[in-house]
Amino acid sequence: TPRVFSGIQPSGNLHLGNYLGALKRFAEAQNKGIQTLYCMVDLHAITVWQNPADLARATRELAAGFIASGLDPAKSILFNQSQVAEHTQMAWVFNCVARMGWMQRMTQFKDKAGKNAQNASLGLFAYPALMAADILTYHATHVPVGEDQKQHLELTRDIAIKFNHDYGVEFFPIPEPVIEGAATRVMSLRDGSNKMSKSDPSDMSRINLTDDADTIAKKIRKAKTDPEPLPSEAAGLEGRPEARNLVNIYAALADMTVDQVMAEAGGKPFSEFKPMLADLAVDRIAPISTEMARLMQDLSEIDRILADGAARARTIAAPILRQTYEIMGMVGTR
Ligand code: ATP
Ligand code: MG
């Protein structure tokens, strides 16, 4: 039976890329009647320093963002990673399955650790093993993620394959990435060659789900572009990353193909296209930010939803961890 798992880090600044690449699609999976688990991955967030008060706020804000984006806590299991200890227990097992060389190939580690990799936390390096645990501890079969997570998911598959092979079992299903749609990779509004990211120091680089209508419009007005008008066909976006990004965002928000957007907006100067995009973005994002603000007025209700989700998650995770230990010869787990 199909089971969907995905996670988002509560590292603040939930943005349009998270919405189009993740949240919107999470809601679509939920509404297909498939079992869906969505996790606030706070243990991933702490691979880089998090101020405790900010982490707590970001976790609740992320939960509010999930709900405001259409995730229904009655249909999906919404929970916080640190509340289900099986994730970390399974991560240790996978630390012993994954090879150093596999980890060393991860481009996100290189990006995030930067020049001073000796100073990065060990957790940042081992992060993909915890991500494998998040997924495999539920025997999840489908993982909706943005393009940027493709390599980590590949590693999850390698871990599952190696575990099954080493112990001669068919225990962990090999999960499939679900990567689709025009804007699976939303780029920064300041630089079309960098992805829109929570951790980008420039707030103008992203549209936050907490931005109000005026802020959204301003960020789109100021988005970097080249001086040419839009081309008349999609092929003309080649070599114009900023123009392509705005067209992709439009297409994703409007549920249109890029060709349909070009039929509507091809040839227009940015002075005309940007206001069209701003109207559309406000129309789609402002209601989410309003709903998030409303939800954030009752933190105890959010905490209750997360606790309930964790209890339900544990009923799936605990037996799978127990079986894993048994396969490995750990005594006393029956
Ligand atoms: P960080 O900079 O802290 O890594 P992030 O913005 O990359 O933050 P994550 O929590 O790592 O956000 O990712 C959450 C989900 O959002 C993942 O499924 C990821 O693939 C997706 N995602 C992140 N950034 C983008 C983006 N720019 N475009 C599309 N999807 C994205
Ligand atoms: Mg990321």
- Number of other CB atoms surrounding residue 285 within 10 Å: 22
Percent of the chain with pLDDT over 70: 98
Predicted confidence band of residue 146 (pLDDT cuts 50, 70, 90): confident
* 274-284 burial: b if 16+ Cβ within 10 Å, else e: bebbbeebbeb
The answer to whether residue 180 scores a pLDDT higher than 80 is no
Predicted confidence band of residue 330 (pLDDT cuts 50, 70, 90): very high
Tally of domains within the chain: 2
CA distance 90 to 87: 5
113-117, 233-237, 279-283: range with lowest mean pLDDT: 113-117
pTM over 0.90: yes
Predicted confidence band of residue 41 (pLDDT cuts 50, 70, 90): very high
pLDDT (average), residues 277-296: 96
Residue identified by tokens 């991933």 is 44
Strand partners, 56: none
Residues 253 and 304 in one domain: no
Residues 14 and 83 in one domain: yes
Residues at CB less than 6 angstroms from ligand 1:
6, 8-9, 11, 17-18, 20-22, 145-146, 148-149, 184-186, 195-199
Is residue 205 in a domain? Answer: no
Atom of ligand 1 nearest to the CA of 145: 18
Q: Are 188 and 203 within 8 A, CB to CB?
A: no
The reported pLDDT for the residue numbered 256 is 93
Query: What mean pLDDT value characterizes the chain?
Result: 95
Q: Which two tokens stand for residue 209?
A: 């789900």
Residue identified by tokens 């249909």 is 75
Going from the Cα of 146 to the center of ligand 2, the distance in angstroms, rounded, reads 9
pLDDT (average), residues 304-327: 98
Closest C-alpha to 44, from 62, 64, 32: 62
Is residue 142 in a domain? Answer: yes
Is residue 80 in a domain? Answer: yes
The answer to whether residue 292 scores a pLDDT higher than 90 is yes
CA distance 186 to 206: 9
The reported pLDDT for the residue numbered 63 is 98
Predicted confidence band of residue 123 (pLDDT cuts 50, 70, 90): very high
Q: Are 66 and 26 within 8 A, CB to CB?
A: yes
The answer to whether residue 183 scores a pLDDT higher than 80 is no
Residues 177 and 217 in one domain: no
ipTM field: 0.97
Residues 235 and 267 in one domain: yes
Going from the Cα of 197 to the center of ligand 2, the distance in angstroms, rounded, reads 7
- Catalytic residue set: 112, 195, 198
Of the listed ligands, the closest to the CA of 81 is 1
Residues 283 and 234 in one domain: yes
19-28, 219-228, 261-270: range with lowest mean pLDDT: 19-28
In terms of DSSP H, where are the helices of 96-190? 100-104, 107-113, 122-136, 150-167
Q: Are 294 and 211 within 8 A, CB to CB?
A: no
- Number of other CB atoms surrounding residue 97 within 10 Å: 18
The reported pLDDT for the residue numbered 181 is 59
Predicted confidence band of residue 279 (pLDDT cuts 50, 70, 90): very high
Residues 245 and 303 in one domain: no
Residues 316 and 288 in one domain: no
The answer to whether residue 139 scores a pLDDT higher than 60 is yes
Residue to substitute in 154, 197, 248 for testing ligand 1 pocket (most ligand atoms within 8 angstroms of CB)? 197
Is residue 72 in a domain? Answer: yes
Residues 169 and 303 in one domain: yes
**Domain extent at residue 250:** 210-294
Question: What CATH number did the domain enclosing 76 receive?
Answer: 3.40.50.620
The reported pLDDT for the residue numbered 147 is 78
The answer to whether residue 168 scores a pLDDT higher than 80 is yes
Of the listed ligands, the closest to the CA of 205 is 1
Q: Give per-residue pLDDT as tens, 94-105.
A: 999 999 999 999
Q: Give per-residue pLDDT as tens, 225-245.
A: 999 999 999 999 999 999 999
Going from the Cα of 198 to the center of ligand 1, the distance in angstroms, rounded, reads 7
The reported pLDDT for the residue numbered 334 is 59
How many residues are listed for the chain in this entry? 334
How many helices (H) and strands (E) in the chain? Answer: 14, 5
10 annotated to bind ligand: yes
Residues 142 and 222 in one domain: no
Is residue 51 in a domain? Answer: yes
Residues 175 and 249 in one domain: no
193 annotated to bind ligand: no
Going from the Cα of 4 to the center of ligand 2, the distance in angstroms, rounded, reads 19
Q: Are 128 and 150 within 8 A, CB to CB?
A: no
The reported pLDDT for the residue numbered 182 is 53
End-to-end CA separation in angstroms for the chain:
25
Predicted confidence band of residue 329 (pLDDT cuts 50, 70, 90): very high
The reported pLDDT for the residue numbered 179 is 77
Closest C-alpha to 182, from 278, 246, 103: 246
Residues 164 and 288 in one domain: no
The answer to whether residue 261 scores a pLDDT higher than 90 is yes
Residues 310 and 286 in one domain: no
